[in-house]
């Protein structure tokens, strides 16, 4: 099932109109309508917001190779093997993201790798706190209009509700470990 169809299916299952979902998620009505007609995966934070609001597991939208991971112990642990890490986005957004776990549903944090291509990403805002660790390269983070250079090994912790974007001035992709903490439950 294409991503737009999945979002629409879960919206209708919850009994929400597009207008209601727009109010719940703070995503514009026109954007939600466009998403439902699209087969392209939206930015990770947007997808996570929708999955939380519509109560579905984000891994179903991402087509993770192993949506039912083997667990050890008592289901309080998820082991997500490296062979299941797969790029889940389009290069034309200026970045790709790779989920680092499955079972995002009902979870407060969302870890993923973000690979920022040369150039810059679009502006982001999402209802979360975000921790980033630059694993490879140097990136510029524009946050609330101020540009910060973050080098390999550096970290940043930010309130993602404020506009931010990344600029990669090198000729190679920059790899970032990003962890979003979603404290708002719909």
CB 151 within 8 A of CB 131: no
Residue 48's pLDDT is: 79
What ranges do the domains of the chain cover? 3-181
Residue 143's pLDDT is: 96
Residue 126's pLDDT is: 78
Would the pTM of this model clear 0.75, i.e. be above it? no
Phi, psi (deg, nearest 5) at residue 68? -115, 80
- For residues 2 and 39, give the distance between their C-alpha atoms in angstroms, rounded to a whole number: 5
Spans of the chain below 50 pLDDT? 66-67, 91
CB 42 within 8 A of CB 35: yes
Residue 94's pLDDT is: 74
Residue 4's pLDDT is: 87
The 3-state secondary structure of 112-161, one letter per residue: EEEEECCEECCCECCCCEEEEEEEECEEEEEECCEEEEEECCCEEEEECC
- Looking at CATH, the fold of the domain delimited by 3-181 is given as Jelly Rolls (2.60.120)
Residue 184's pLDDT is: 61
Residue 11's pLDDT is: 92
């Amino acid at each position: 099932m294409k991503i737009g169809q999945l979002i629409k299916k879960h919206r209708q299952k919850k009994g929400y109109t597009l207008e209601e979902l727009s109010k719940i998620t703070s995503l514009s009505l026109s954007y939600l309508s466009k998403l439902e007609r699209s087969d392209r995966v939206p930015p990770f934070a947007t997808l996570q917001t929708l999955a939380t609001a519509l109560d579905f597991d984000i891994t179903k939208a991402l087509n993770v190779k192993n949506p039912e991971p083997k667990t050890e112990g008592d289901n309080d642990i998820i082991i997500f093997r490296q062979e299941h890490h797969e790029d889940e986005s389009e290069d034309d957004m200026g970045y790709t993201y790779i989920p680092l776990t499955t079972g995002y549903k009902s979870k407060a944090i969302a870890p993923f790798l973000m690979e920022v291509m040369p150039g810059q990403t679009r502006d982001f805002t999402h209802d979360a706190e975000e921790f980033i660790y630059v694993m490879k390269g140097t990136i510029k983070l524009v946050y609330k209009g101020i540009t910060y250079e973050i080098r390999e090994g550096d970290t940043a912790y930010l309130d993602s509700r404020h506009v931010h974007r990344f600029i990669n001035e090198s000729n190679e992709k920059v790899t970032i470990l990003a962890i979003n903490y979603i404290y708002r439950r719909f």
